[in-house]
Chain A
Amino acid sequence: MTVVVIGAGHGGVQVAASLRAEGHRGPVVLLDGQDHLPYHRPQLSKEFLGPGAGDPQLLRSASFFADQDIDLRLGTAVAALHPARRRVELRDGGAVDYTHLVLALGSSLRRLQVPGVELDGIAQLGSLTDAAALRARLDAARDVVVVGGGFLGLEIAAACADVGRAVTVVEPQARLLARAVAPPVSDAVRRAHEAAGTVLHVGTGVQRFLGRAGQVRRVVLSDGSEFPADLVVIAVGVVANSGIAEAAGLAVDDGVLVDPWLRTSVPDIFAVGDCVARPDRELGAPRRIECVQNAIDQARHVASSIAHGLGEPYGKVPWFWTHQFALRVQTVGLGFPDDDCVLVGDPDGDGFSVCRFRRGRLVAVESVNRPRDHMAARRLLSGGVLPVPAEVGSAGFDLKDHELATRGTA
């Protein structure tokens, strides 16, 4: 029984490792188009851009794959899937046959379509190669412009400000992190960037980049404002790497569609991580989740299904973190754009959390410098007794006290 996993990122490596941990004895083939041993991505936009950062941390040591009898093939991009023949076709002309196939294809950075975007000095950050190139460029840069005020863009902006660059962030939405977090969290993040001297342009997009001798020199915004730039980083979201799945006839809608067991529309093909879209009835659209925890937990679930047969549907609550300046933002659960938000703690104080409610039910908690709240919220949202809005809003309410007091009574 051969399991082929496409993509050796956070999800794919975990599928392979968990298959062995779960006792799967048959061949495990792990294919990836890039050449570097699999590494941790989150630090690329954080510590890795700072001074004295060494090599990236590997997901597993070099010897792990051989020791576990995992056939890791780097530099081996998959060109096409042939589900009817249970075969994947490699870009180099070869092919691998499978009994089970797992797609762990990840996502790619969205491109910005504006005049001048091809100028030298305009970069993106998605991989180790990108990060090494950006770090090298940063040394010579003075005016850095980050396009995109989401997690990735803001982490890059913070890292650049930390090494003394003049940083400008451009975000077309009305506030930073608009899609990801509630307004009080956006606001705390905004204040941290402003305190570091970063200039923020929200509610306006880039109209064009101007250059001289092929090198970017200025950024012009749709509202007419204009400023210098010798390094531009574009971080305007990601798109799922679902192309090979779609070409093979798998159901795709902004990501590879899966059922509650993470099975794609074709038998014996599973999908995990950033490339997955799951129908969300409440949202009325498929939802993609882009974080390490989601990739890893989905990978474990799929490995168990392959090794032991289908069990419970996948149901882990997603959590995510970001680090910018002295801010440690941690989120758990899935919010919706129009949730009711109740604050715990003081946004002007040491830290606070936002509890998001959907028709009175707690669905997500976003914490700024409150790991205590975050960890309690993780337990609560994974099957605890959920507090109601009035409780959370009452004086002296504490998520952890609530969790401890109600533990075991769900």
Chain B
Amino acid sequence: MPTLTFVLPDGTRRTLEGKAGLSVMEVAMAEDLPGIIAECGGNAMCATCHVYAGATDRLPPVSEVEDEMLDSTAAPRTPASRLSCQVQIADNWDGMTFDVPETQL
């Protein structure tokens, strides 16, 4: 099982089990991870599931739509910024980390 570690703004770490094919957002929501809101349910429409990825090179590329939405996140965008609903979990992930921003709104 791929594992994902979320680092909350206060430094707390939570490690969750993912499943290939699910999005990072879906795993976070199923476990009620605080700080991920995902108002639109995973359509890249609301930009409230923003995360900072630890290893961007292992992730699928950012689409044009995601790129535009990332420009409108509440917390500052960095090169590590992703919308977690657009990042599908892969089988070969282990110890992937995602920092949860201070705010999504």
Contacts and interface: CB of A to CB of B under 8 A. Distances in A.
Contacts of A375: 47, 68-69, 71-72
Given A64-B32, A328-B65, A379-B72, 14 more contacts: A42-B41, A43-B42, A60-B29, A61-B32, A292-B40, A296-B39, A321-B40, A371-B44, A371-B68, A374-B68, A375-B47, A375-B69, A375-B72, A400-B71
Given A67-B32, A378-B72, A379-B72, A57 B42 contact: yes
Nearest to B33: A61
B68 to A, nearest CB: 4
Interface of B: 26, 29-32, 39-47, 64-65, 68-69, 71-72
B5 to A, nearest CB: 19
A24 interface: no
Contacts of B26: 57
Contacts, number: 49
Contacts of A292: 39-41
20 contacts: A57-B29, A58-B29, A60-B32, A61-B29, A61-B31, A61-B32, A67-B32, A292-B41, A296-B39, A321-B43, A321-B45, A328-B65, A371-B44, A371-B64, A371-B65, A371-B68, A374-B68, A375-B47, A378-B72, A379-B72
Contacts of B44: 371
* Chain A contact patch, size range: 20 to 34
B69 A57 contact: no
B41 A371 contact: no
Contacts of A43: 41-42
Contacts of B30: 58, 61
B14 to A, nearest CB: 14
A217 to B, nearest CB: 37
